[in-house]
Amino acid sequence: MLVELTKHIKLIRPEALAVYPYSNSIYIDDEVAAIIDAGAGGRAYGEIDCASVAMVLLSHYHFDHYNGVSFFPNARKMMGTEELVTFQNEAAYTKARGYDRWPELMGTSRQEEMARLWQYPDDIPTRPDFGDIRIDEAFQDGQVIEIGTTKVQVIHTPGHTSGHYAFYFPHEEILFSGDYDASGMGPWYGDAGADIDDIINSVEKLISFQPRILVGSHRRPLSS
């Protein structure tokens, strides 16, 4: 489902609920087309011209945010410097996710447990494991990326993961907060790089922007 927030900024919601293995995407439809996060599913992306998307910006390395990058074959992939290694090194990915401790803590193999818990829909083209995705460029806190006439500021918001980023559109006063969602689930998932103090500081940082529209990864947008 395509939801127009402004002329150039649109929310792409999954056809199903925006919960794992899906997440919301932001679509910037300007002189240059770009996507923020790629987990809305193939049916949702059927509403846009995927081949024209020139950039995919990833908020962090969790599967429900990157599983659809293959839908955008001509896009440069970008993410924060802090988590580049999770797409470059399988051992680093496994440690960051805590998968190396799965048998010890869960008493079974991760593959067996995930197969038991999840039947992945057919518009999710990959499965949750080391992605081995080529990241073309890294961004860092405070950087402003120009997407046609649209400007987006990247905001380092660690805590959920060490390299989680939110995205703020200053002219439109729209904040995409990623997994800092207005949800009872909260952003604490226990990754190796997760940190409660960082979460608190990141939430306070996001509040300070006082956005007109708040969009999270798994809920409908909220407006002031």
Tens-place pLDDT, residues 63-73: 999 999 999 99
Q: Give the model's confidence band at 105: pLDDT under 50 very low, under 70 low, under 90 confident, else very high.
A: confident
Q: What is the pLDDT of residue 194?
A: 85
Residue 83 and residue 95: Cα distance in Å, rounded?
A: 12
Mean pLDDT of 179-186: 80
Given a cut of 90, is residue 179 above it in pLDDT? yes
- Over residues 123-140, the pLDDT tens digits come to 999 888 777 789 999 999
Q: What is the pLDDT of residue 73?
A: 96
Q: What is the pLDDT of residue 132?
A: 72
Backbone angles phi, psi at 95, to 5 degrees: -70, -45
Q: What is the pLDDT of residue 58?
A: 98
Number of Cβ within a 10 Å radius of residue 148? 14
Q: What is the pLDDT of residue 183?
A: 74
Given a cut of 80, is residue 78 above it in pLDDT? yes
- Average pLDDT over the chain reads 91
| Higher per-residue confidence, 98 vs 162 | 162
Q: What is the pLDDT of residue 100?
A: 80
Q: What is the pLDDT of residue 76?
A: 97
- Over residues 4-59, the pLDDT tens digits come to 999 999 999 999 889 999 999 999 999 999 999 999 999 999 999 999 999 999 99
Q: Spell out the long-range contacts of 117-122 with Cβ–Cβ below 8 A and sequence spacing 24 or more.
A: 118/21, 120/21, 121/16, 121/21, 121/41
Residue 109 and residue 96: Cα distance in Å, rounded?
A: 17
